[in-house]
A and B are shown apart, each in its own frame.
Chain A
Amino acid sequence: MDATIENIGVSQRANLEVFSGTLQQLAQTDRDIIVVTSDSRGSGKLVPFGQQFPDQIIEVGIAEQNLVGVAAGLASTGKKVFAVSPACFLTARALEQIKNDVAYSNNPVKLIGISAGVSYGALGSTHHSLHDFAVLRTIHNLIVVAPADNFETEQAILLAADTGMPVYIRFGKKPMPLLSEEERTFAFGKGRIVREGTDITIIGTGETVAPALLAAEKLERANNISATVVSMHTIKPLDYDLLQNIAASGQPIVTVEEHSIYGGLGEACASFLIQNSLHNRFKIIGIPDEYTVTGSQTEIFNHYGISEEGIAAAALGLIG
């Protein structure tokens, strides 16, 4: 049986649901957990949280600037605040509040970008967040995370609740497979190797790691090429040690992201490699400089080569 998204690892829940469930668990013993939403209770799967902890959810209406400012004010008093909003609006409309009220003032808000990347698919480019890595990477004092599977999501939420730093975490709506039974360690700033290989390395982030893993299995099956797959869940701080090690092995590197090819994971990796004279063959896969085609998240992924076939073809191109 060929590998599919459904049968790599164990098919599980949407990362979004893991987020809301983890938050609910945390709130049972921690009255300081506060959710702030901008009419995103439903889309954030936070209805059960709100029912169970009505005093720990603050609704500001569709007002993202206020969402982030209020969250920062709450966090300044010691609350563990999760500000939840669609990633596209949270990181564009409230960018100045993220920069000033959260990161510059060091109010450790957990900014949760839901329905990230092209999760909203056919709703179009107003609803896509393909800029968030690029803009948030330039903001000092902010951790930027895109978990790949349910395990990473749960760990990211637990760590975020405990850290004294501002964190941005983004994920989509689709059920995600468990990407590795073996590698079950997680720390911000440390990439997670979900598949070991010797010929090429594919570095993905967020929901692109699953197709990267499928591509690796296809390369093994069809071409006898052994690929490493890394979930680089933390875009910033980037895991330079891991990149250094990968590059030192001489393997070609493919990066894959649900983001513009400008300013995201790929360019972050390329910048590190070039500046350290590590000239591995290198390819960035992401959304090109255009407003995306219409379609579901999967269709858009397939269109731009963020897929088993597309990633495998890019890998072969580098090795060829």
Chain B
Amino acid sequence: MSEKELAQKSVEYRKKILKYIYQAKAGHTGGSLSCIDILNVLYNYTMNVDAARFDSPDRDRYIQSKGHTVEALYVVLASRGFFPESDLETLCKYQSHYIGHPTRKVHGVEQNTGALGHGLSLSVGTAIAGKLDKRDYRVFTVLGDGELPEGSNWEAALSASHYKLDNLCAILDKNTLQITGPTSAVCNTDPVDGKFEAFGWAVRHVDGHNIGELMAAFDALPFEAGKPSLIIAHTVKGKGVSYMENQLKWHHGVPDTRQYAEAIQELDLLEETLA
């Protein structure tokens, strides 16, 4: 997919995230909108993954550590043919497989996540297996900046560099807000680049909503041979809907009918400008 097509795809995904959260009356809107461009580029440009051959041992793996923004993952998987998009009509509803955090009951989901600070260790184990088996697959994981204080992240970061996992790429969705407030006020993890570099990672910064920058960063992997890569994606919580952007209440706020219509109208306008 071209950069322009990907940009258009992101708008489509944003509308779908809002639609299904609106219908379900549940979900994590702000963070889904902040990480969707990253997932878009991963699934439509970077990763070797195919719904029809998802059991291939050579597929690239994606593990979503910040599991609460599962709506972003579900709309991307649906668009890649892992399941009919109409399944998302059941999102979070009684007996649905499409629950509010990633679950392997959904085709295309690699690991059950949602409790924070788990994705990186799972990714390290998967990447070590790739090295042991001399397979070329890569492992991608999206971390939230709010989950970084979990100690398991730092245990995993150490072992990733210890095992020289240059087949591992973590993407930090740095939207700077978490449920209580600014991440810097809750538990400041900056300078996060220096911390990961000190742990033996190669780090780059990108604008997490700039499709071209994301594509270029993924193209440049691994940033250094023998080191795991971290992409610090500077993002905006609620990106794409002006009244949601950088607003804490949209961490897991659900739009009402008027708000939903307003958001879709705004995204429709954006879509027109990209056409």
Contacts and interface: CB of A to CB of B under 8 A. Distances in A.
Contact of B122 (A63, A69, A78): A69
6 A-B pairs closest in CB distance: A73-B125, A69-B121, A66-B155, A63-B155, A70-B125, A77-B129
Interface string A61-78: 101011011111111111
Interface stretch (A3-11, A94-102, A235-243): A94-102
Contact of A76 (B118, B122, B151, B156): B122
Contacts of B114: 100
B128 interface: yes
Interface stretch (B76-84, B104-112, B181-189, B243-251): B104-112
B129 A72 contact: no
A100 B152 contact: no
A262 B124 CA distance: 36
B112 A105 contact: yes
A73 B158 contact: no
Interface in B115-142: 115, 117-118, 120-130, 132-133
A63 B154 CA distance: 10
Interface residues of B, number: 31
B57 A72 contact: no
Nearest to B126: A73
Which of A72, A73, A105 has the largest count of B CB atoms less than 10 A from its CB?
A: A73
A160 B57 CA distance: 23
A165 interface: no
A12 interface: no
Given A104-B112, A107-B111, 12 more contacts: A66-B121, A69-B120, A69-B121, A69-B156, A70-B121, A73-B111, A76-B122, A76-B129, A77-B129, A77-B130, A79-B129, A79-B132
Contacts of A34: 132
A180 interface: no
B132 A76 contact: no
Of listed B112, B117, B122, B123, residue having the most chain A CB within 10 A:
B122
B57 A78 contact: yes
A69 B129 contact: no
Nearest to A31: B132
Given A69-B152, A74-B129, A77-B129, A101 B159 contact: no
B130 to A, nearest CB: 8
A50 B140 CA distance: 29
Contacts of B121: 65-66, 68-70, 72-73, 97, 101
Contacts of A60: 155, 159
Given A69-B152, A77-B57, A77-B133, A61 B158 contact: yes
B113 interface: yes
Contact of A74 (B118, B125, B151): B125
A97 B117 CA distance: 10
B57 A70 contact: no
A72 B158 CA distance: 17
A76 B117 CA distance: 18
Contacts of B152: 65-66, 69, 97
A70 B133 contact: no
A62 to B, nearest CB: 9
Contact of B128 (A58, A61, A63): A58
B77 to A, nearest CB: 17
A76 B155 contact: no
Contacts of B129: 73-74, 76-79
Contacts of B125: 36, 69-76
Among A55, A61, A68, A77, the one with the most B-chain Cβ atoms within 10 Å of its Cβ is A77
Contact of B110 (A36, A76, A106): A76
Contacts of A69: 118, 120-122, 124-125, 152, 156
A289 B156 CA distance: 36
